[in-house]
Amino acid sequence: MRLAELASHLSDATLLGDGDVNVSRLIYDSREVRPGSMFFAIPGLAADGHNYLQQAIEAGVAAVAVEAAREAIWRPIFENSPSPALLVDNTRSGLAVAAAALNGFPARKLGIIGITGTDGKTSLSHLVDHILTASGRRSGLITTAECRVGNMKLPETGRFTTPEAPELQAMLAQVVNAGGQWAVLEATSHGLAQHRLDCCEVDIAAVTVVGSDHLDFHGSREAYVQAKGRLFQFLDESVGKGITKTAVLNFDDPIHETYAALTRARVVSYGVDLDADFRATSVVPGPWRTAFNLTSGDVSLEADVATPAFFSVYNALAATAICVSAGMDLASVIPGLTTWKGAPGRMELIDEGQPFAVVVDFAHAPDSLKRVLGVLRDRSRGRLIAVFGCIGERDRDRRFAMGVVAASDADFTIVTDDNPYTEDRDAIIAEIVSGLEAAGKRAGHDFAVIPDRREAIAQAIGMAVDEDTVLLAGKGHETQVHLPGGAYDCDDREVARTVLHDLLPGSSV
Q: What is the pLDDT of residues 426-451, one digit of tens each?
A: 999 999 999 999 999 999 999 999 99
**pLDDT at position 156:** 66
Q: CA-CA distance, 387 to 447, in Å (whole number)?
A: 10
Q: What percent of the chain has pLDDT over 90?
A: 81
| Confidence band, pLDDT 50/70/90 cuts, at residue 78 | confident
Q: Which CATH number fits domain 348-503: 3.90.76.10, 3.90.190.20, 3.40.50.720, 3.40.50.880?
A: 3.90.190.20
State the architecture of 3-100 in CATH terms.
3-Layer(aba) Sandwich (3.40)
What's the pLDDT tens digit per position in 248-259? 999 999 999 999
Q: CA-CA distance, 311 to 30, in Å (whole number)?
A: 44
DSSP class of residue 450?
A: -
> Over 50: is that where the pLDDT of 329 sits?
yes
What's the pLDDT tens digit per position in 207-239? 998 865 555 655 687 888 998 999 999 999 999
**pLDDT at position 509:** 47
Q: Where are the beta strands (DSSP E) in 170-307?
A: 182-186, 204-207, 246-250, 266-271, 278-285, 290-296, 299-305
- CA nearest to 232, candidates 209, 252, 249: 249
What's the pLDDT tens digit per position in 267-309? 999 999 778 999 999 999 887 889 999 999 999 999 999 887 7
Which secondary-structure segment (H or E) carries 39?
A: strand 37-40
User: What CA dihedral angle connects 9, 10, 13 and 18, to 10 degrees?
Assistant: -30
> Over 50: is that where the pLDDT of 1 sits?
yes
DSSP state string for 366-428: HHHHHHHHHHHHHT-SS-EEEEE---SSS-THHHHHHHHHHHHH-SEEEE--S--TTS-HHHH
In the chain, domain spans:
3-100, 105-339, 348-503
Averaged pLDDT for residues 12-20: 94
What's the pLDDT tens digit per position in 374-388? 999 988 899 999 999
**pLDDT at position 23:** 97
| Confidence band, pLDDT 50/70/90 cuts, at residue 145 | confident
- Examine domains 3-100 and 348-503 and report if their fold is the same: no
Q: What is the CATH number of domain 105-339?
A: 3.40.1190.10
**pLDDT at position 218:** 55
| Confidence band, pLDDT 50/70/90 cuts, at residue 311 | confident
What's the pLDDT tens digit per position in 384-424? 999 999 999 888 989 999 999 999 999 999 999 999 999 99
Per-residue exposure over 79-117, b if at least 16 CB sit within 10 Å of its own CB, e if not: eebebbbbbbebbbbbbbbbbbbbbebbbbbbbbbbbbb
Q: What percent of the chain has pLDDT over 70?
A: 96
Q: How distant is the alpha carbon of residue 273 from its chain centre?
A: 27
What's the pLDDT tens digit per position in 164-202? 999 999 999 999 999 999 999 999 988 999 999 999 999
- CA nearest to 344, candidates 164, 454, 154, 479: 479
> Over 90: is that where the pLDDT of 45 sits?
no
Report helix, strand or coil for 348. strand
| Confidence band, pLDDT 50/70/90 cuts, at residue 163 | confident
**pLDDT at position 277:** 97
Q: CA-CA distance, 342 to 386, in Å (whole number)?
A: 21
Radius of gyration of the chain (CA): 24
**pLDDT at position 506:** 60
**pLDDT at position 508:** 52
Q: CA-CA distance, 438 to 428, in Å (whole number)?
A: 16
